[in-house]
């Protein structure tokens, strides 16, 4: 989970969530932590968390011994202008947004 330090302190964040591991301590304006979220309705929990103004993003973690963050953000390497056209049409059909740019966007 990522939080904005201009809206919540590390101490308050720790009081609100059971932090299992700190990844970024807030020195760059962002708190990044792995937190334990109680079992329950996943969508309901995500809705509650994203309604808090200090939450920047939530990335569920999968795995047992080797934990891996998942994300709604993906890096896509394009090799040609035709690749960008394919990416653009695929994103549009899925309702996704292209947020970055490279040489093919210019």
Which percentage of the chain shows pLDDT scores above 90?
Answer: 15
Model pLDDT, residue 85: 87
State the pLDDT at residue 52. Answer: 92
Main-chain dihedrals φ then ψ at residue 86, nearest 5 degrees: -65, -45
Measured distance CA(79)–CA(81) in Å, rounded: 7
Tell me the CA distances in angstroms from 50 to 11, 31, 58, 94, 101, one per residue in order.
Answer: 20, 15, 8, 22, 27
| Token pair of 24 as six digits | 């970024």
Q: What CA–CA distance (Å, rounded) separates 97 from 106?
A: 17
Q: What tokens does 60 get?
A: 């569920």
Give tens-digit pLDDT for 24-71. Answer: 888 888 898 888 877 767 778 788 888 999 999 888 776 665 555 566
């Amino acid at each position: 989970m990522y939080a904005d330090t201009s809206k919540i302190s590390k101490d308050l964040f720790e009081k609100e969530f059971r932090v299992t591991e700190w990844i970024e301590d807030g020195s760059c304006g962002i708190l990044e932590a792995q937190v334990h979220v109680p079992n329950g309705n996943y969508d309901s929990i995500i809705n509650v968390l994203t309604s808090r103004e200090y939450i920047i993003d939530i990335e569920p973690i999968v795995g047992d011994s080797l934990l891996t963050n998942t994300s709604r953000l993906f890096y896509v390497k394009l090799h040609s202008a035709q690749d960008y056209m394919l990416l653009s049409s695929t994103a549009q059909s899925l309702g996704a947004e292209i947020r970055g740019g490279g040489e093919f966007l210019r």
